[in-house]
Copies of this chain bind each other. A is one copy, B any other.
Amino acid sequence: MKHKAHRIIRIGIPSGDHYAMGPGKADLLEAIMETGSISAAGRKLSMSYRRAWLLVDEMNKCFRGPLVHARLGGAHGGGADVTELGKEALQKYRELQVLAWEAVKQPYKHYVHLLGDPLE
């Protein structure tokens, strides 16, 4: 149900004209935690290297401190760590998603009775 819920409710955290956090950025943060690398995380999400870096840069600038710390060079050609602030930003975003979905999942089930068969 997780995947479907995320298609139904999308939460974004605005910061000026930007979004500090949203579904794509949260998935990217999670993938960086798993892979230890921005480029590997981007590949995992079928996201271009450039896009993954842009999203990380935007997050790092919108929060009160960086969410991702990129280690340059070294034996493994760098790597990236999600900071404590990044972990908190991710966890609390996931909590917002859960709260929103818990609130609408029953009325949503009623709503779909208004629909016909899905289009091809």
Contact = CB atoms under 8 A, between A and B. Distances in A.
Interface residues of A, number: 42
Nearest to A14: B7
Nearest to A93: B111
A22 to B, nearest CB: 10
A72 interface: no
The A interface is mostly helix, strand or loop, or mixed, namely helix
Contacts of A63: 114-116
B92 A107 contact: yes
A119 B15 contact: yes
Contact of A111 (B13, B16, B18, B112): B13
Interface string A49-93: 000000000000111110000000000000000000100110011
